[in-house]
Amino acid sequence: MRAYLGYAQLHTYQQLEMLNHLYADMWLNYNFFLPVLRQVSRIAVKGEDGIVRIQRRQDGAKKPLDRLLMAKPPIGKETKAKLLALRQATNLAALNRKIHSQLNLLLDSAKTD
């Protein structure tokens, strides 16, 4: 959140409620729509110059929900159906607009305190 809010100080209960709503919407965005890389290995390799460098390998970019659906052991059918229905019902463009408007409102309320 520091990347979004900077060092704005939040003091009121209303700001806490706004932050909690923002967290819920950002959870949807990050877990359903944003692909991430996952590190699968890391090895130390000593170069000819004697410097040790870390080589990292990542798997392909996948959304966290897709990784969860492919997990072993699999999640329950009811949970899977609920998550897929929630992703299907979520409009990504509207969600992003909502997140940005909530951030602006929260930052404006922090400036007036």
Distances 88 to 1, 15, 28, 76, 78 between C-alpha atoms, Å: 26, 30, 11, 18, 15
Residue 27: half-sphere exposure toward Cβ, Cα within 13 Å:
8
Domain boundaries, the chain: 2-35+62-112
CB atoms within 10 A of CB 32: 19
Tens digit of each residue's pLDDT (9 = 90 or more) over 34-58: 999 999 999 999 999 999 999 999 9
Structure confidence by residue, pLDDT tens digits, 70-113:
999 999 999 999 999 999 999 999 999 999 999 999 998 888 76
Cα distance between residue 27 and residue 21, in whole Å: 10
Intra-chain end-to-end CA distance of the chain, in Å? 19
